[in-house]
Amino acid sequence: MTLVRENEIRRGEVAVELPGMNDAGLVFIGAIRTPWTSRLMTPRQGREDGPVCRIEIFPPWQEALDGLEKFERIEVLYWLHRSRRDLVRQSPANDGSVRGTFALRSPVRPNPIGTSIATLVGIEGATVLVRGMDCLDGTPLLDLKPERTLFKPIAPPQPGDFETG
């Protein structure tokens, strides 16, 4: 039994045909350096006391880091570049039992975007040091933002802010 998925389809899993065209495009704005060079080694989920990882920001995006140092935790979005995208049902335990892709945090998904809440260790020039990552070394970075509970909007209030229902 393979511990982690490479590209096989397992018993009970269901694949669909992917659309031939994309609806939107992404730019890779950096790379995440981690200790894990094989999918057989990566954590299933990051841990707060995990190893320090380096997020390297590509030009011209370094300037966008200004002010990020004030936040203890940041949300990291990355592209799971080695994942297949066509499974609607998956068997993480590879035991014949299956569950819908949206009921899992598996890297295999129609848009393989990983999200982590990382602890900020420091910022050195264009490099952000964090703990709490769970991705392969070399994973493309998509975005960084303050963790939602730490962020207070600076923009003036809008009517929707007060709507309940």
Considering only residues 8 to 37 of the shown chain, the ones binding a copy of itself according to CB under 8 A are 14, 16-19, 22-29, 35-36
CB of 19 to a copy of itself, least distance (A): 5
Q: Which two tokens stand for residue 136?
A: 């392969």
As measured in angstroms, the least distance from the Cβ of 57 to a copy of itself is 8
Asked if 7 touches a copy of itself (CB under 8 A), the answer is no
CB of 114 to a copy of itself, least distance (A): 10
Contact call for residue 134 and a copy of itself (CB under 8 A) = yes
Counting Cα atoms < 13 Å in the Cβ hemisphere of 64 gives 13
- E-state strands within 58-102: 73-79, 87-90, 99-100
Closest listed residue to residue 12, CA positions, set 86, 109, 94: 94
DSSP classification of residue 124 = E
**Stretch 30-69: interaction string toward a copy of itself, x if CB under 8 A:** -----xx---xxxxxx-x-xxxx-------xx-xxxxxx-
Considering only 13, 32, 73, 79, the residue that binds a copy of itself (CB under 8 A) is: 79
Which of 9, 31, 88, 129 is the binder for a copy of itself (CB under 8 A)?
88
Task: For residue 34, give both structure tokens.
Answer: 């981690």
Query: Is residue 72 at the binding interface for a copy of itself, with CB under 8 A as the rule?
Result: no
Query: From CA 15, how far away is CA 83, in angstroms rounded?
Result: 13
Retrieve residue 102's tokens. 């949206």
Site track 99-128 with a copy of itself (rule: CB under 8 A), x = hit: xxxxxxxx--xxx-x-x-x-----------
160 binds a copy of itself (CB under 8 A): yes
Q: DSSP strand E in 83-156: where?
A: 87-90, 99-100, 113-124, 127-131, 139-146
DSSP state of 121: E
Nearest distance in Å: CB 67, a copy of itself: 3
